[in-house]
């Protein structure tokens, strides 16, 4: 009976979390490190989704909702929402693709990694358009790029874009030698993670700045202040989990046999 119960449990996990299966010849699902990874990976996703929902609630309930260019002050609200989704949640998940979906072939993971970055880039551009519109289209325009938040935020966006271009050229586009890719990989990983941390730091500064300007009696901690503070806490927890999952050597993806075939084909 115990064997049958365990068999049912693994079947349910494979049905609902097929991407978390560890397709390897050694240890497979009995590896305690992989069991811990699965729990933390799911927890990271739940925290990330909660972070997005909470930001949406803060905007909808306390900040006036969403609008277009006809109402620049409300159009601004697209900025924190889209940045939360794009430059934090999706950016973090793009970093986790190789470990979170380790059972997929390396080529498929590369395409997924690139695709998630593209979606994050589009949302980031829309978020930047919203914030510049909200400053420039007012009856009395607000200066741009004067705060530390804007400086670090723009630095994070530029680093994100440079990382994508360099990564595409080195790891996805054909022609690069394996020796070059091996030399560039640690640099790509480092600056990708650094850009993600920088994006979270800029986001924390941004929501704090917005709360100081917009939340009445912020020092008395009204419900609006509590919500924006919780958003910041979730940013930090989400970021910490992503960094932990992607830097822990016990959770590193092990190459599949198909990856060796792909690598040999790339060098031919």
What is 127-182 written as a DSSP string? HHHHHHHHHHSSSSPPPSS-SHHHHHHHHHHHHHHHHHHHHIIIIISTT--HHHHH
Q: What is the pLDDT of residue 175?
A: 82
DSSP label of 70:
T
More confident residue, 19 or 40: 40
Q: What is the pLDDT of residue 261?
A: 52
First to last CA, the chain: 52
Where do we find the tokens 């305690």?
32
Q: What is the pLDDT of residue 264?
A: 43
> 239, exposed or middle or buried, with CB in 10 Å at 0-12, 13-18, 19+?
buried
Residues 6+ apart with CB under 8 A from 254: 24, 102
Q: What is the pLDDT of residue 173?
A: 86
Structure tokens at 101: 């979906």
- Whether the pLDDT of residue 189 is over 80: the answer is yes
Give the pLDDT confidence of 136-183 residue by residue, as tens digits: 999 999 999 999 999 999 999 999 999 999 999 999 888 888 888 999
Alpha carbon distance 21, 264 (integer Å) = 25
Give the pLDDT confidence of 98-115 residue by residue, as tens digits: 999 999 999 999 999 999
**Length in residues, the chain:** 268
Alpha carbon distance 97, 71 (integer Å) = 38
């Amino acid at each position: 009976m115990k064997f049958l119960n365990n068999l049912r449990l693994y079947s349910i996990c494979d049905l609902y979390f097929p991407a978390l299966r560890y397709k390897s010849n050694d240890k497979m699902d009995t590896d305690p490190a992989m069991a811990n990874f699965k729990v933390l990976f799911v927890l990271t996703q739940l925290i990330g989704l909660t972070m997005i929902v909470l930001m949406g609630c803060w905007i909808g309930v306390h900040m006036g909702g969403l609008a277009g260019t006809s109402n620049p002050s409300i159009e601004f609200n697209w900025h924190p929402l889209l940045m939360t989704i794009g430059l934090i949640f999706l950016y973090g998940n793009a970093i986790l693709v190789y470990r979170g979906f380790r059972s997929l072939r390396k080529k498929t993971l590369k395409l997924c990694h690139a695709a998630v970055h593209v979606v994050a880039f589009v949302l980031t551009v829309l978020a930047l358009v919203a914030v510049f519109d909200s400053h420039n289209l007012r009856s009395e325009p607000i200066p741009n790029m004067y705060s530390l938040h804007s400086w670090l935020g723009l630095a994070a966006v530029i680093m994100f874009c440079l990382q994508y271009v360099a990564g595409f050229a080195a790891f996805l586009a054909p022609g690069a030698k394996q020796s070059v890719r091996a030399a560039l990989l640690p640099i790509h990983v480092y600056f990708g993670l650094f850009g993600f941390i920088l994006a979270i730091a800029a986001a924390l500064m941004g929501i704090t700045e917005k709360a100081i300007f917009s939340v009445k009696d912020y020092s008395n901690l009204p419900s609006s202040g509590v919500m924006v503070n919780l958003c910041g806490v979730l940013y930090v927890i989400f970021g910490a989990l992503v960094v932990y999952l992607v830097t822990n050597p016990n959770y590193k993806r092990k190459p599949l046999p198909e990856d060796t075939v792909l690598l040999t084909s790339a060098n031919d």
